[in-house]
């Protein structure tokens, strides 16, 4: 494996000298602050986060709906909805079609509204939400990641809004 | 489930998260030892899941569907993190692997709770 040398210690990296990035065969440590990486690296990390949450929320909703849907139809339907929103965001972040960014914008916005509304309602009206969803209490059961994730997603979409089409070299992801 | 094994895997997951987190802080891509650790942890988690299935009884765990879903789901985040870390040879690959290691540690804890709740 050619990556071993990159893990070595003690290589001084002055902030002003930044190694060239962009060559996919370049295994040298690269600086995450490269403009190009702002589009590629963070997008891959966000896609990883959303992918795991899509899997978690859809699985959770699947178990809840298939085994005890009648206990809390509202909460379990919301679980499924949140799962589908995570799937939509994941698709928007991992594809490079013309509809990818609009889809990601929509999914992140719906997610933010959802987690804020459900989070608030679950605190105000406990009777309506006796069973937890991913969004209950602002996602406290999931380390509050459900409320942080849409902010990161929207922040990234906003920061990269002037780039238009996603660069072609990221299409392999 | 075997408690010492679960706690060991939980600890390894957290250590891997700290290690790759430090790597990301130092603006470096995930290195070979980290990838190898993640692969080994995935293999160990698979062994743990299989042990869990064989040790299931009528009463333990109480919520068998959720337990089985978790025991399968816990095997998925790390391969995803490894794939992203290999694809993304920057600090962002390290961040992805760090996050998936945290997820696996939390899921190990949850898996253990589900088992304990039935015993």
pLDDT one-digit tens code per residue, A39-79: 788 999 999 999 999 999 999 899 889 888 888 888 888 88
Q: Is residue A151 part of a domain?
A: yes
**Does the CB of B13 have a partner CB in chain A at under 8 Å?**
no
Rg (CA), chain B: 15
A167, pLDDT greater than 70: no
- Among chain B residues, CA nearest to A66: B65
The one-character DSSP state at B100 is H
A37, pLDDT greater than 90: no
Q: Is residue A8 part of a domain?
A: no
Work out how many domains chain B is built from and give that number. Answer: 1
Which three-class secondary structure state does DSSP give residue A87? helix
**Does the CB of A24 have a partner CB in chain B at under 8 Å?**
yes
**Does the CB of B1 have a partner CB in chain A at under 8 Å?**
no
Answer whether B27 sits within 8 Å of A13, measured CB to CB: yes
Peptide bond into A66 cis (omega under 30): no
**Does the CB of B98 have a partner CB in chain A at under 8 Å?**
no
Condensed to tens digits (0 to 9), the pLDDT of residues A76-94 reads 888 899 999 999 999 999 9
Answer whether A48 sits within 8 Å of B89, measured CB to CB: no
Write the CB contacts of B104 (distance below 8 Å, at least 6 apart in sequence): B13, B41, B45, B74, B77, B78
Work out how many domains chain A is built from and give that number. Answer: 1
- pLDDT of res. A48: 95
- pLDDT of res. A164: 55
* Of the candidate ranges A6-15, A95-104, B43-52, B85-94, the one whose mean pLDDT is the lowest: A6-15
User: Residue A101's closest CA among A29, A32, A162?
Assistant: A162
Which three-class secondary structure state does DSSP give residue A170? helix
Q: Is residue A81 part of a domain?
A: yes
CA distance B84 to chain A (A): 7
Question: Which run of H or of E encompasses A79?
Answer: helix A73-94
Residue range(s) defining the domain that contains residue B33 = 3-118
Q: Is residue A173 part of a domain?
A: no
A9, pLDDT greater than 70: no
Residue range(s) defining the domain that contains residue A150 = 40-161
Q: How many CB atoms lie within 10 A of CB A165?
A: 10
Q: Is residue A57 part of a domain?
A: yes
Q: Is residue A24 part of a domain?
A: no
Condensed to tens digits (0 to 9), the pLDDT of residues B44-84 reads 999 999 999 999 887 788 888 899 999 999 999 999 999 99
* Of the candidate ranges A10-19, A63-72, A155-164, B58-67, the one whose mean pLDDT is the lowest: A10-19
Mean pLDDT, rounded, of chain A: 76
- Among chain B residues, CA nearest to A55: B73
A11, pLDDT greater than 90: no
| Distance between CA atoms of residues A46 and A141, nearest Å | 20
The complex scores an ipTM of 0.89
Cα separation values, A20 from A33, A108, B3, B24, Å: 11, 32, 48, 18
Condensed to tens digits (0 to 9), the pLDDT of residues A104-128 reads 999 999 999 999 998 888 888 777 6
Q: Is residue A112 part of a domain?
A: yes
Provide, rounded to the nearest whole percent, the portion of chain B with pLDDT above 90: 86
Note the helical H segments in chain A. 35-68, 73-94, 100-124, 145-159
Q: Is residue A134 part of a domain?
A: yes
Six-digit token pair at A133? 């969803």
């Amino acid at each position: 494996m050619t990556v071993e040398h990159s893990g070595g210690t003690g290589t001084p990296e002055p902030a002003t000298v930044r190694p060239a990035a962009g060559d996919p065969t370049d295994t040298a440590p690269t600086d995450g602050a490269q403009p190009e990486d702002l589009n590629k690296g963070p997008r891959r990390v966000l896609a990883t986060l959303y992918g795991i949450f899509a899997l978690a929320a859809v699985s959770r909703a699947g178990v809840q709906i298939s085994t005890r849907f009648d206990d809390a139809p509202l909460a379990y339907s919301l679980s499924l909805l949140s799962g589908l929103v995570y799937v939509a965001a994941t698709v928007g972040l991992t594809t490079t079609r013309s509809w990818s960014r609009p889809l990601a914008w929509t999914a992140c916005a719906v997610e933010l509204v959802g987690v804020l509304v459900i989070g608030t309602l679950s605190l105000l009206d406990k009777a309506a939400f006796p069973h937890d969803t991913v969004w209950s209490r602002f996602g406290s059961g999931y380390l509050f990641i459900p409320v942080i994730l849409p902010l990161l997603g929207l922040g990234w979409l906003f920061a990269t809004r002037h780039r238009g089409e996603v660069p072609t070299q990221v299409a392999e992801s | 489930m075997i408690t010492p094994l679960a706690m060991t895997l939980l600890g390894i997951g957290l250590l891997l998260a700290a290690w790759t987190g430090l790597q990301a802080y130092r603006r470096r891509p995930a290195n070979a030892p980290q990838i190898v650790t993640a692969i080994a942890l995935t293999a160990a988690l698979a062994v743990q899941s299989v042990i869990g299935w064989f040790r299931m009884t009528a009463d333990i765990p109480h919520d068998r569907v959720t337990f089985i879903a978790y025991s399968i789901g816990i095997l998925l985040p790390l391969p995803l993190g490894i794939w992203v870390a290999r694809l993304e040879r920057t600090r962002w690959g390290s961040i992805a692997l760090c996050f998936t290691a945290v997820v696996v540690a939390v899921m190990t804890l949850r898996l253990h709770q589900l088992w304990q709740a039935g015993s």
